[in-house]
A and B are shown apart, each in its own frame.
Chain A
Amino acid sequence: MKVLYFAWVRERVGKAEEIVEPPAAVRTVGDLIGWLTARGDEYAHAFDTPRVIRAAIDHTHVKPEAVIAGAREIAFFPPMTGG
């Protein structure tokens, strides 16, 4: 699946998007954050305060409990500041 990062999450991870293949045990958005966090210091830094991280699956906001099976695109970003 494709994972995208925006704003300071993107800056901390050091890339805007990547393709990842998490193992089957990674079921939810929260699991995916945990799995990404273990991939390196840049991810640990990006996700060091998980409660502020927002997520979207295929362009729709989701909660950490959301199941990622079937997702084409998952995005992680800070709280939004548009408008």
Chain B
Amino acid sequence: MTQNPYLWLIPTLPLAGAAINGFLGRRSSKRAVTTIALAFSGLAFALALWIAVGFSSGAAPYIFNLAHWIRSGSFTVDFAFYLDQLSLVMLLVVTGVGFLIHIYSVGYMSEDPSYYRFFSYLNLFMFFMLTLVLANNYLMMFIGWEGVGLASYLLIGFWFTKDSAASAGKKAFIVNRIGDFGFLIALFLIIQHFGSLDFTKVFAQVQPIAPETAGAGFLTAIGLLLMVGACGKSAQIPLYVWLPDAMEGPTPVSALIHAATMVTAGVYMVSRSHVIFERAPMALTVVAVIGTLTAFFAATIGIAQTDIKKVLAYSTVSQLGYMFMACGVGAFSAGIFHLMTHAFFKGLLFLGAGSVIHAVGGEQDMRKMGGLRTYIPATFGTMLIATLAISGIPPFAGFWSKDEILWQAYQSNWVYWLIGLITAFITSFYMFRLLFMTFWGDYHGVQVDEHGHSSHSHDDHGHGEPHESPMVMLVPLMILAFLSFVGGLVGIGNHFQHFLDPVFGSGEAAHAGETAGRGVELLLMLVSVSLAALGAILAWVLYVSKPYLPQKIAAALNGFYTAVLNKYYVDEIYAALFVKPLIEGSTSILWQGVDRKVIDDAINDAADGARHVSDEVRHMQSGNLRSYAGWIAAGAACLIAYMIWRGVGQ
């Protein structure tokens, strides 16, 4: 056993933290809650680092069997953990970014009355997310999958007294349920065909099957159903609608769950099941198309949003689309690479946005910000790095991963590449728009100390101007900024991809064209970087040098602009297509029809009937003793008469 035997402790530690804070947090001091939450998540991170240092590629995958769970004939499921290069990357991202966001939350949530509850949920989320990435079989993965959904629901609705937050939580949960439904059916199909849920056993049986190039077989069905699950969790078309609403949660939650980790679970799951997808070309095409469309579609919505967190939310949906695009063209390692860099820079963007919101006293509307770069220089600096990273400006992290994806997409089908390229341009535009609206120009906001308290009250230090966040919030920002800066360098020379080769196999098209297409790759790189720069310049022109232009353009594109502003009315269409028929059908048919008319009436009629019969019969029970005696005598006489008539005893 060359691998670390303490693997099972990594998910267990946050669970312990969640339990301690959840049960005892109400009565303990804030300092104690902080210590517990940070200690357990920090220990998990330290342990993950230790395991990473001792990780030897030769021994992977390493399976740690904790306990038996289901034993039913030949079908077994165990509580077991699975560590290979892929889960190691996820492990480090989840524990590392998770720990940083825990630290940040200490500052951000310091004034919240439900401080302990927040950290308990956050630790609980870490537990489920780690279970998801370390799972040895699909069922364990499903536990984690559902668990992060639960944690997400709890944290989106964290300020549950606010109506919008409570309903956003429900929306996220219900939309995810649709995806989980697909995932679950995929699991049943896997059990039916392979008699197991263990990754190693399933993939060993899938390996010899020839790709289903002609027509769709059961592998395609499994792949498509898994993709339905991934669409729900990773907010892809058509199930992305919950993620923008999820911004009702506290900002650290948006950073951890709805940007860095949970929403990437779908990408992880698809990559983990790459053996299945590689043999189902149709499913893979669907993944690529959905990813590409989502990337483009969400990016266009991001242009018109004015809420700083909503922009980032649509940006997240769009970036997740990139990851699926990569998976769909078979470049799983590129997808995971982007997943990692995205965790750094999008986590940073959200934390930075949180810092901005903190600075201006709870305001989220970018039109009421502006000129903040002199007030909060540290936040501005880190946000700038993150924006450069997401826009794909070299040498920041996003450049390496996004370019890898675009290059892989180009090799597969130039349409993906073209849409990806346009999306990259739009991404750069809306991100710099965010940056310029927030940090350039004049401050449009109200003075902070006159500002009424929003749902979560921050202390304002007695002065009216936007103020920088405390160090406890800035340090995570700086660490993430550093990672956003250097995080992509592991992709130089395809080191990162080679590290993942044992998982995804070296049969990837990636390495074939590595040397051959060097010149083309450089050219494409140049095109995408210049487009990103163009997006930034356009944003500068529109929002800094000629700030009157956007209104004019919006007016010129009247109908289209309104559609984009209203997110293409997707929520309204869904409401009309699914929600309303469902509610009305349930009301008129199931409630008034079946429940009232059939079930209730059957019970009421039975009761009424019993009463009517009893009404008639109860006259016999007069309470008059002699009448009873009379009945007994009459009964006895009848009995005797019957016996005589039948001739009993003969």
Q: Check if A and B associate.
A: no
